[in-house]
Amino acid sequence: MCGKSRWEISLGVVVQKQPIVVFGTGEIAELADFYFTHDSNYEVAAFTVDAAFVKQLEFRGRPVVAFEDIAERFPPERFDCFVAVSYAKINAVRTEKVAAARAKGYRLASYLSSNATVFPGFELKENCFILEDNTIQPFATVGANVTLWSGNHIGHHSTIEDDVFIASHIVVSGGVRIGQGSFVGVNVTIRDHVTIGNKCVLGAGALVLESQPDFSVVAPRGSERSPVPSNRLRNL
């Protein structure tokens, strides 16, 4: 019945799902629809993008409406909104669309996977997208409009500020602060009590052992390809 009805039956209790509009029609929007449909008390009613980017009238079996017209078709008194946008322009695009949805009067929905681990006292703020296998330890805080892709460790007493995008399999040690608008790539490790400034980019596989000022880019060199092809290797 998930995604097919506004009613969900669980342990004999009928729960009405809150309808939402998802901003976006890309891969992240498609994933958001899947997660909200199968693992939340929200139901996706429609998708929206700026009028200049409307390329289709339907996406995943639901209408696509120009953002300029969304409040008339899906009024904020009845529908919440979720902005499913990537880290483009160091998260600035997603941040702008969240502000635009809020200006239209929408409440911003969030998704917290039932397979994530959080503890008493954790506060889920607006427009967060926290996927499976994240562990957020006690006394850690996560700001608004934060994406935590799957499989991360967020250490105790750490702070992730607003508008951050954290990819997968990242270790944020205890007492770390990650500044507003930053991007953290896959397999990054951040040592305890390190501060990452605002709008920093930590590239895939970075080992960050000291604090970084605003707008820093930490980009470790990728794997080098051997000049010897695999069919000429003596041993493997």
Residue 37 has pLDDT above 90, yes or no: yes
pLDDT band at 150 (very low <50, low <70, confident <90, very high): very high
Report the DSSP beta bridge partners of residue 19.
43
DSSP letter, residue 173: -
Q: How far is CA 155 from the centre of its chain?
A: 18
In sign, the C-alpha dihedral spanning 135, 140, 141, 145 is negative
- Residue 21 CA: distances (Å) to CA of 99, 186, 228: 15, 29, 53
pLDDT of residue 16: 86
- What value does the mean pLDDT take over residues 6-12? 50
pLDDT band at 173 (very low <50, low <70, confident <90, very high): very high
pTM, rounded to two decimals: 0.91
200-209 pLDDT tens trace: 999 999 999 9
Q: Which domains does the chain have, with CATH numbers?
A: 7-103 (3.40.50.20), 110-211 (2.160.10.10)
Q: Report residue 76 as tokens.
A: 């904020």
Amino acid at residue number 98:
V
Give me the half-sphere count of Cα atoms (radius 13 Å) on the Cβ side of residue 24.
20
pLDDT of residue 1: 32
Of the candidates 131, 141, 136, the one whose C-alpha atom is nearest the C-alpha of residue 110 is 131
pLDDT of residue 61: 96
